[in-house]
Amino acid sequence: MENLLRPIYQERASHPDTLAVIIVERRHKVSSETDNFDAALLVIVKEAEEPLFIKHYESAHQTASLNVVTDEQLKEWITLGTNRRIIDWILNGKVLFDRNEYIFNLIDDLSTFPFSNRKLKIGLEYGKLIRRYIEGKAFFESNQFLDAYNSIVHALHHLARIEVIDKGFHPEVTVWNQVRHMEPEVYKLYSELIESHESLHKRLELLFLANDFLIHSKAEIGAAHLRHVMEQQDIWLFGELLAHPDLKYFTPDLSVMIDFFVEKGIVQVEPIETKGQKIYHRGYFVKKDVDA
C-alpha cells in the first residue's frame, strides 16, 4: 500500500508547509482506526485554508484516505481528546516524513505528558463527568431508566479517562483495557453496570451511590485547572471566566462546574450589588493556595 501512495505523500512532503507524514495500515478486517480503508495517510501541515481536509483514493482494489490536518487542529484534538485515534496514529503509525523531528518531539511530549496539560485535560473530563452525572440523576429520579443508563455509561467513560490521565497517560480508544490495569475499582463499576443480573433500577441505584463517592473524591484534581485561573484575581463574574483564554475549552460545561464546586465549597460566592433593588450579581472566588 505504501508503494501505491508514494507519489501522493512524496508530493506532500516536498511542500515547505508539511511537517510530517504518517501512514497507518489496516490491522483487522473491520478497522475503526482507518474507517475500514486499507490505509490512512496523515499529513500534518503548519497552516491550511481548512483545519482538516480529507480525500479518498482507490487503486487495484485497495482503498486509502488522505487526511491533511493543521498543527493547531492536531494539538486541539490531543488537548480535548475529541479524536482519540489520532494518538494511536501518532504512536503506532509508520513515519514516512518528519521535518525537523516534529513527530519525534510530539511523541516525546505525549510520553512526558506535563502536569499542567494533565490538569487541563482532567478539568475538561471532570466537567463532562459532572454534566453526565447530573443528567443521569435527573433521568433516574423521573423514572427514565434507559436515558439514565445512557448518561451514566458516558459518565463512567469520563471517570475512566480521568483515572488514566491522572496516572500520566493519554486515554486511548480502548480506554477500558487501560483502566482495568490502572484502576480496577472503576473498571468493576463499569462491569457491574453492564453485566449484573440485577434489575436496571437496582443497578443504577447502586451505581449512583458509588459514583457519588468517586466523583467527590476527584473534586480537588478536577478543579485544579479552574482554581489556577481563578487565583489570578480576587473575584470573578461568570462572564469574565467564560471569556478567559485558559478556559476557552470549558465553555459547554463551565456553568455546571461552577455550581458543583460552589456546592462542594471549592468555589465561594460573594453577592455584588446591581442597580436593581435586592438583585445581586454572583461573584465567584477561591481562597488562594498558600503554597502557590
CATH number at residue 6: 3.30.460.10
The reply to whether 153 and 215 lie within a common domain is yes
The residue with greater pLDDT, 61 or 16, is: 16
Residue 28 or 190, more confident: 190
User: In the predicted model, what is the mean pLDDT of residues 14-20?
Assistant: 93
Q: Would you say residue 122 lies in a domain?
A: yes
Per-residue pLDDT band at 184 (split at 50, 70, 90):
confident
Q: For residue 6, with 0-12 CB atoms within 10 Å meaning exposed, 13-18 middle and 19 or more buried, which class applies?
A: exposed
Rounded distance, CA 81 to CA 171, Å?
Answer: 8
- Express each pLDDT in 111-138 by its tens digit: 888 888 899 999 999 999 999 999 999 9
Alpha carbons 170 and 271: distance in angstroms, whole number: 40
In a domain, 290, yes or no: no
pLDDT, residue 292, reads 44
Q: Could you tell me the CATH number of the domain that includes residue 270?
A: 1.10.10.10
Same domain assignment for residues 121 and 181: yes
Mean pLDDT of 217-231: 94
Residue type at 132 in one-letter notation: R
Rounded to two decimals, what is the model's pTM?
A: 0.84
**Shared domain check, 95 and 10:** yes
Residues 29, 122 share a domain: no
In terms of domains, do 6 and 83 share one?
yes
87, part of any domain: yes
pLDDT category at 169 given cuts 50, 70, 90 is confident
Based on the fold, state whether residues 141 and 192 are members of the same structural domain.
Answer: yes
Hey, is 92 helix, strand or coil? helix
Does 106 score more than 90 pLDDT? Answer: yes
245 vs 1, higher pLDDT? 245
292 alpha-carbon distance from chain centroid: 27
Instruction: State residue 181's pLDDT score.
Output: 86
Residues 15 and 107 in one domain: yes
* Number of compact structural domains in the chain: 3
3-state secondary structure of 282: strand
**In a shared domain, residues 124 and 166:** yes
pLDDT digits (tens, 9 = 90+) for 135-167: 999 999 999 999 999 999 999 999 999 999 998
Residues 261-288 have pLDDT tens digits of: 999 999 999 999 888 778 889 999 997 7
Domain boundary among 61, 85, 112: 112
DSSP 8-state code for residue 99: G
Q: Is residue 214 part of a domain?
A: yes
Over residues 232-247, the mean pLDDT reads 95
Inter-residue contact 70 to 45 (CB < 8 Å): yes
129: domain CATH number?
1.20.120.330
What average pLDDT does this structure show over 35-39?
86
Domain end marker among 222, 239, 268: 222
94 in a domain, yes or no? yes
Q: Which domain holds residue 149?
A: 115-222
pLDDT confidence of residue 130: 95
Last residue within a domain, chosen from 62, 87, 112:
112
Residue 253 and residue 192 in one domain: no
**Is 99 in the same domain as 7?**
yes
Question: CA–CA separation, 139 vs 133, rounded Å?
Answer: 10
Q: For 248-265, how does the pLDDT look when each residue is reduced to its tens digit (9 = 90+)?
A: 999 999 999 999 999 999
Q: Are residues 255 and 217 in the same domain?
A: no
Strands (E), 9-75: 18-25, 39-45, 52-59, 62-70
Choice between 73 and 27, residue whose per-residue pLDDT is larger: 73
User: Does some domain include residue 291?
Assistant: no
Residue 292 lies in a domain: no
Give residue-wise pLDDT tens across range 57-77. Answer: 888 788 889 999 999 999 999
On whether both 93 and 121 belong to a single domain, the answer is no
